[in-house]
Structure formats: structure tokens, C-alpha cells
Amino acid sequence: MKITKFAHCCMLIEEGKVRILIDPGKFSTAQNNLQDLDVLLLTHIHPDHFNLENIKATLKNNSNIRIFTNQEVGEELKKEGITFELLENGQKMEIKGSTIEAFGEYHEPVYPIFPPVKATGYLIGKFFYPSDKLTVIDKPIDILALPLLGPWVRAREAIDYAIALRPKHCFPVHDGPVIDPSWSQSPKAVLPEKGINFEVLELGKEYNF
């Protein structure tokens, strides 16, 4: 598996013969020039994950791409005349020999006044990206895209989540400024002793797992 992180939660996953772009949100445009993409996964409607300009740029360069997402994101796509397919909690599909499974229904709570939004995590082979929900799944995970910090998650919760899932490798997403390896409270101080290799991915660089 090859993984290229662009920013925040936007990633290119290359598994076997399939090329999958995830969550081209507002923090990056570097992914917009990609070609030969098979799948676009959109996990929820928050703008750091869902940006229509980026989505349209991706579609322009990839006319045969298939979009998979949940119903709430789908309603936003419908307004733009963009075709999508549902892939929600408990569902799975196969493309070019790779399986994608959906887990989770709603975003982690931020504060009671904010209405809940649907948020769907995706398991691609043995790579898991939970989106903005700390969903514990009963599946083997080799690689975890670990949401690290935000208005809905603290570093302590993220570290405990990684320990609960016990992947072989994990790297931060939803990370902001805390990807600095000199940050003393980094998961790097805890996870390796639990047998979990924690690695910060250089943006735009392809990694093999």
C-alpha cells in the first residue's frame, strides 16, 4: 500500500490497482492535479473535509472516478448535479480487487448546540481512516490514520484510541500544528512502547506500507 498525505485529512491511498482520494478539504489544493483516480471517498460535510471547488477540480481531471459517501454528503452533491454512490455504516464494496468497508454513523460531539452530522469512516484493506469519529472496529488494522487534535478530540483520547485498535503503524491526521516532532506531548512518547509505530508523514511524499 502507498499513502500520500496532502494536508489535514486529505490522502491518496494506492492499494493494489486502485487509487483512492480521501477528503479533499479546504486546507490543500495539491491533490487537484491528480489523474487516474478510481475512487473519491467523502466522509462528512465539514469544510476541512469537504470542499466543492476541490471536488470539482478532481472530477475535471478524472472523468471516470466514482464517488462514495453517506446520504448527508450526497444531498450536497445532488445540489451540484454530481453523481455519487452510497457507502454507509455496515456496507462494503469491491473495486479492482480491493475492498472498502464503511464504519460509523455520526461525528463525535463537539458541543450540544451544534447539530450532529453524519461521518463515515472507511477501511481499505487493512488501512483504517475513522474520519471524525473514534469508532472501534473488530477488524485487523495494519495502518491507522489517527485523528489527533480538534474541537472534538484531545491528544489523550487519540492515544487511547490508537492503543485500543492496536495497528502496526499509525500517522496523524486532523493534526494542525502538533505534527512538529519536537512536541513533547506527541504520541511518539507513548505509542512505540505499545508496539505501534507512530510516524509523521511529510506532506506530498509517497510512503510504502
Identify the CATH number of the domain in which residue 155 sits: 3.60.15.10
pLDDT at 179: 53
Strands 66-69, 18-22: parallel, antiparallel or unpaired by DSSP? unpaired
Percent helix, percent strand, percent coil in the chain, to nearest 5: 20, 30, 50
Q: Which cell is 27 given?
A: 486546507
pLDDT bracket for residue 178 (50, 70, 90):
low
Contact assessment for residue 144 and residue 185, using Cβ atoms and an 8 Å cutoff: no
Q: Among candidates 141, 147, 139, 137, which has minimal Cα distance to 127?
A: 141
- The pLDDT confidence band at residue 184, using thresholds 50, 70 and 90, is very low
Q: Residue 13 sits in which domain range?
A: 2-208
Number of domains in the chain: 1
- Asked whether the beta carbons of 36 and 10 are under 8 A apart, the reply is no
**CA-CA distance, 97 to 89, in Å (whole number)?**
21
In this prediction, residues 92-120 reach a mean pLDDT of 94
pTM (2 decimals)? 0.91
> Looking at residue 203, what is its pLDDT?
87
User: CA-based angle 142:5:176, to the nearest 5?
Assistant: 105
